[in-house]
Structure 1
Amino acid sequence: MAQMMRCKFGLFSLKYINNPLSRIIKYDKYQRSCFHTSWLLNVKGKEIFMPSLSPTMETGTIVKWMKKEGETIQPGDALADIQTDKAVMTFEMDDEAVLAKILIPEGSKDIKVGELIALIVEPDEDWKTVELPSSSPSASAPSTPASSAASPVEAAEPPAGQINVAMPALSPTMASGTIVKWNKKIGDTIEPGDSLADIQTDKAVMTFEMDEDAILAKILVEEGSEVTVGQIIAITVEKGMDIASIVMPSLSSPAASAQIDTPVSSPTSATKTSTPAASSASTVPPSGQIYGLAVKRLLEEYGLSSGSIKGTGRPNRLLKSDVLEHIQSKNIQKVPPQIASTTTAAAPTSVPSTPSATSGLRRGAPKSGPSTYKDIEVSNIRAVIAKRLGESKRGIPHSYATVDIKLDALNEIREQFKADNIKLSVNDFITKAVAHALLQCPDVNSLYKDGQVVRMQNVDVSVAVSTPSGLITPIVFDALSKSLSDISNDIKTLAGKARTGGLKPNEFQGGTFTISNLGMFGIKEFSAIINPPQTAILAVGTGRDVLDTTFKKSSVMSATLSYDRRAIDEDQAADFLSVLRSILEDPTILTISRGQQALRHRRN
């Protein structure tokens, strides 16, 4: 009997326990070609679109990729050679990144401006695990013929001499831009090099210049409008051509194509679809998507169902941006709250009939419903700043050191300069002193790139300037060789350009050290966030009067150094602050010209 039971148990174990791993089901949806199969570990790549390398460029050909997948891209590196309608031009990158995926191979012709051609990731991310977006060419290729066949309207052929000007890609990562100002009016003549418009990109406000002679015939996009790259924004014609003979493009924007695809409804049904688009959407069964309280509130306010909107978050998450985009594209209005109808229906039975009682009740009744609020749209520049500072705070181990600096001698020298009609601010002296301190403490004048500390030879000081669109840091290049007057003029010029949006990329990209001064706002002391790949930033507070040990009034300023602990040690940070304090407390060396400094050094 025991032998039979042993035999049966052995057969059972062979049948159900043997090779248990073969029974684990792995869905095709989550299978990846990399070393893991978890969609939680995938990297979401930054999309690179076909740029508009000339004002009249509509399509381009990838002649050659200058970088391979997995190679590091430095600012200014050539990513690809692209043949435009003018010549073969080099497509350069502005930011440091790693080329993760090439989506368009070499030799591909007639790639439309704004079409996705590659994916990049940050230098510290795993490029092998980059996730292909749902809008990649491989995913969207099958649907293209169907959508073009279904479109009943075809683009009219423009006459000879007419040029449709599309929104250019003024930076490699630019997906859309905002028309800040049109610098030409309809009928104005355009010469080569003339500025057609000022466009706000994801980097800064940049000038869109024309390469050929033309006349501005039509402006299709108003100032302040956000436009995707490749969308037609204006029409130009050759000189001598009649402006009235232009042919308007049929599909100048994605919104126009959406209006063409939607059938025209009767007047009675149009009145019903303004708000009750929500009621039809509410009949869709829920999709099981995950969403937070903000998304839930939006769905309730507009009467939407999560099943009618496809979420782009991971994993299976519906984002607030998805709902807002759906509301704007469908032009859905808010559904009136249900509480209002019930209270008005119950009013005849509960409210007294006398007018005085009614008015008294209205005055004393508390207001119901949610509190009012206003959504402030985040500009492209502020979104990029928020992203960079968030990455800096999360990824860089910040350490801090604070020192008090006496300003009595500095203020005396400023008064002497003022008597000679030379106005110098405290920030000018600080910038010059920082340059001297960085020369004596070269470990602080460094960058942290690819896990290595790179000591810089030049001293290029970035000065933080507040603008309506966000904080920007123009650079005083080679500050050590400049006089106090030169530094003062540079800072005034760069700050004026920054506030008007006239900074060029080479005037704010780079730098080896940053100064952030809030002393003019009465801030006593604060800590600033490091601007990567720099390794340090100096936060300067206001000057304040204190009593020293001899009960003598003295002006003191607090300065806090935020430094990257991976690149700078505590003693190196202390040495830098000590040198900076000694220079600012005896700033006579800052007033000596470069030739006099060299002569003094030779005598010593």
Structure 2
Amino acid sequence: MAIPIQMPSLSPTMTEGKIVKWLKKQGDKVSSGDAVAEVETDKSNLEIEAYDDGYLLQVLVGEGEMAKVGAPIAYIGAKGEKVGAGKQVAPAAAPPEQKPQPAPAAPAPQAAAKPASSGGGDNRIAIQMPSLSPTMTEGKIVKWLKKQGDKVSSGDAVAEVETDKSNLEIEAYDNGTLAEIVVGENQMAKVGAPIAYLTAKGAKAAPAAPAAQPKPPAPAPEKPAAAKPAAAPAQAGGRRLRASPVAKRIAREKGLDLTQVSGSGPSGRVVKRDIEEALARGPAAVPAAKKAPAAQPAPGVRPEPTVLPLSSMRKVIAQRMTEVKPGVPHFYLTIEVDMEAASKVREEAKAMDLKVSVNDLIVKAVAMAVRRYPKINVSLQGDKVVQFHSVDVGIAVALEEGLITPILRDADQKGLQAIASGVRELAERARKRALKPEEYTGGSITVSNLGMYGIDQFVAVINPPQASILAVGAVSEKAVVRDGQLAVRKMMTATLSCDHRVIDGAIGAEFLRELRGLLEHPTRLLF
């Protein structure tokens, strides 16, 4: 179904915008977050981003032409999809309504109070829940970074949102005052639904009442022990810790405690320069917050189970696995690989102070095998088979709340050292929930390795839209027959799951034969 790209409200006084330039042309592939057009507003020239993946099917408003706020300017959808002739896109007016968000108790009275001062909401601008990943349908507000009544400038981070993949910040696209918070902390909102409202400069905001209401009472017993010591340094005079999105990202990646960093930006805001200086000073400013030990139950008393809400990530995993397992006809092929020579390569690398793991060797071998057997580098999308011409290998990374598969791009063109450092860096950022959407979407094939948990063999469910996944077990010594003699060798079991709609058994078998040859003769990985 074709989806409209609408003219957004990019300034408090904007009623229409002019398309200065299309940055994508009709027929181009578009990913969520891509800038598709440059728009001239009454304030400045800004870029419009797409919130969906697909192809630019039709451009409705040409360069130099005007469009009203909320009007469709183009359509995106599946390749070759037809767009209806009419421009009947009623949803443009739907998002500003706050009816679908009944959770907060206070917004209803405030919504009634607004028209008296703002003339029916003309001065109110909705901050909507954006689509922050291709599979995102809803997000949870983890924390409001601005409180009701605060002044907001375009580009300010206003809230931290938990998506199905990671925690990201929502930025404001308008200047004004945060007039009303519709969705409180720890509450969910659908993509496109309003989570708050801004008023234009000069308009009065409602009293800051709703912000305090959404706090859930359940976690209260644990917070005094663990959360207070970390939060105290951040609040001087009751103020919230201020840091730029870039500073927060770098601090998260480097494991730096922001509460120990003095900000040199406006109003004491921590900026990139402050983070770099703190890192240069060394680890003194990075105290690790110790977890309070869990209270032990009295002898003979059975502890009560802990009830936790389903995380956004786990919801999407459940949904997608339910969709793919009945909907995709899997078949499985299993081989045993003699890892004796590969283990020696790893030991030699270790002796040279090079950090190369068995998994890195497997990723490299998988990438080269895919390059040599491109028939496995495909995906079924709708009624079309997509053949990929680059080799991008996904690496399954286990998180506390689920599983994510960061993608190592062009893995077949990378050396072992580059693969090793690339896999480590992606895995570390995945655990910190700091991956960008383009770093965990797409891919040719995924490697899922449970060998480090002592698992000898398992089968894995395909990670859509990919058509295959390799499940790797532990490398362990086994008795095998070599040249008619019993011998002890380091062996590994690998099982390939394939989508039988686009990959046949013979193709999977040829791929595994090549993979085994590369791992049993690892010098071939160098050529």
Answer yes or no: same fold by TM over 0.5: yes
> Match of 1:416?
348
Q: CA deviation at 1:231?
A: 2.3
SS for the counterpart of 2:470 is strand
SS for the counterpart of 2:486 is coil
**Cα distance in structure 1, aligned partners of 2:95 and 2:348:** 70
Q: Which among 481, 490, 493 is matched to residue 558 of structure 1?
A: 493
Counterpart contact for 1:446–1:535, Cα < 8 Å: yes
**Cα distance in structure 2, aligned partners of 1:50 and 1:503:** 27
Let me know the Cα RMSD of the aligned residues: 5.4
> Match of 2:229?
none
Counterpart contact for 1:437–1:579, Cα < 8 Å: yes
**Cα distance in structure 1, aligned partners of 2:129 and 2:12:** 9
Are 2:113 and 1:153 equivalent residues in the alignment? yes
**Cα distance in structure 2, aligned partners of 1:152 and 1:213:** 23
The 5 Å alignment of 1:203-242 reads: 203-209=165-171, 224-227=186-189, 229-232=193-196
> Match of 2:205?
248
**Cα distance in structure 1, aligned partners of 2:207 and 2:443:** 47
Are 2:410 and 1:448 equivalent residues in the alignment? no
| Percent pairwise identity | 34
Residues 2-31 of structure 1: per-residue CA shift (max 9 Å, x gap): xxxxxxxxxxxxxxxxxxxxxxxxxxxxxx
Counterpart contact for 2:460–2:469, Cα < 8 Å: yes
SS for the counterpart of 1:548 is strand
**Cα distance in structure 2, aligned partners of 1:138 and 1:433:** 51
> Match of 1:498?
430
Supply the AA of the counterpart residue of 2:139.
G
Choose between structure 1 and 2: higher helix proportion. 1
Are 2:130 and 1:169 equivalent residues in the alignment? yes
Counterpart contact for 1:176–1:201, Cα < 8 Å: yes
Are 2:472 and 1:540 equivalent residues in the alignment? yes
SS for the counterpart of 2:114 is coil
Counterpart contact for 1:231–1:252, Cα < 8 Å: no
Residues 126-182 of structure 1: per-residue CA shift (max 9 Å, x gap): 999xxx9x99969999x99xx999975225459xxx998835414488664323356
SS for the counterpart of 1:520 is helix
**Cα distance in structure 2, aligned partners of 1:461 and 1:210:** 35
**Cα distance in structure 2, aligned partners of 1:165 and 1:411:** 58
> Match of 1:180?
142
SS for the counterpart of 2:194 is coil
Q: CA deviation at 1:476?
A: 0.6
Closer, same or farther in 2 for the Cα pair 1:454/1:221, shift >3 Å?
closer
> Match of 1:314?
none
TM-score scaled to structure 1, two decimals? 0.53
Q: CA deviation at 1:251?
A: 10
**Cα distance in structure 2, aligned partners of 1:59 and 1:173:** 31
Q: Which among 457, 480, 489 is matched to residue 525 of structure 1?
A: 457
SS for the counterpart of 1:555 is strand
> Match of 2:508?
573
> Match of 1:95?
53
SS for the counterpart of 2:113 is coil
Return 5+ residue gaps in structure 2 as ranges: 101-106, 214-303
**Cα distance in structure 1, aligned partners of 2:472 and 2:15:** 49
Q: CA deviation at 1:496?
A: 1.4
Closer, same or farther in 2 for the Cα pair 1:468/1:86, shift >3 Å?
farther
Counterpart contact for 2:75–2:83, Cα < 8 Å: no
Supply the AA of the counterpart residue of 1:248.
A
Counterpart contact for 2:54–2:76, Cα < 8 Å: no
**Cα distance in structure 2, aligned partners of 1:488 and 1:459:** 16
Supply the AA of the counterpart residue of 1:562.
S
Query: Larger Cα Rg: Structure 1 or Structure 2?
Result: 1
**Cα distance in structure 2, aligned partners of 1:184 and 1:123:** 41
Supply the AA of the counterpart residue of 1:177.
G
Q: CA deviation at 1:503?
A: 0.7
> Match of 1:428?
360
The 5 Å alignment of 1:88-167 reads: 89-96=47-54, 109-111=68-70, 152-154=112-114, 156=117, 166-167=127-128
Closer, same or farther in 2 for the Cα pair 1:487/1:209, shift >3 Å?
farther
Q: Which among 395, 403, 408 is matched to residue 335 of structure 2?
A: 403
> Match of 2:440?
508
Closer, same or farther in 2 for the Cα pair 1:169/1:540, shift >3 Å?
same
Q: CA deviation at 1:463?
A: 0.9
Total equivalences in the alignment: 404
SS for the counterpart of 1:551 is strand
